Amino acid sequence: MPIKKIIQKLNIYFFLRNLSDFRVYKRKCFWNKKKPKIILKAIQENDRVLVSVVDNGTGINEETMDQVFIPFFTTKGQGNGIGLSLSHHIVRMHGGKLLAESDGNTGTTFKIVL
C-alpha cells in the first residue's frame, strides 16, 4: 500500500496531535535547549512504513518509559494521560506498532511501524 494511503488511513494528524501537546511538550522537554528540534520522518520500505518523531529534549528516564503507554499515566501537571495511550491504541488498530526509545538524557524517539 502506498505511504500516502497508509498515512491517510492512520490519520497522522490525529496521531501527532495526541502524541503531545506541543506547548507543554516544548516547555517541559526543551527548557535547557538553545536549539530545540523535533524531526518528523516517513519512510516506506517494501510493504512497511516507518514514521518517526525525534526530539533533542531532556529524554525520558527508564522508569517513566515503562509507563508512557498506560492510560491516565502522566508526568505533566496539566496532562490527563491519554495522549500516548490513545495513539498506541490507534496504531495497533491499524495493525502497527508504536515504539518509544530514549536514553533518559538526550532526547526521545517515537516510531510507528505499519
Listing DSSP states for 29-86 in one string gives HSTT-SS--EEEEEEEETTEEEEEEEE-SS---HHHHTTTTSTT--SSSS--S-HHHH
Q: Which residues fall within 8 angstroms of residue 66, CB to CB, at 6 or more apart?
A: none
Higher-scoring residue by pLDDT: 45, 102: 102
> What is the pLDDT of the chain when averaged over all its residues?
78
pTM of the model: 0.74
The grid coordinates listed for 33 are 535547549
pLDDT at 75: 81
> What is residue 108's three-state secondary structure?
strand
> What pLDDT is recorded for position 12?
59
- What's residue 70's pLDDT? 94
User: Which pLDDT score, from 0 to 100, does residue 101 have?
Assistant: 94
**Higher-confidence residue: 97 or 79?**
97
Average pLDDT (68-84) is: 84
CA of 109: how far to CAs of 1, 77, 93, 101, 104, in Å?
A: 25, 22, 21, 5, 11
Joined grid coordinates for residue 14: 490525529
Confidence of residue 100 (pLDDT cuts 50, 70, 90): very high
Distance CA 55, CA 63 (A): 19
Per mean pLDDT, which range of 32-36, 52-56, 90-94, 107-111 is the poorest?
A: 32-36
Residue whose cell numbers read 502522566: 74
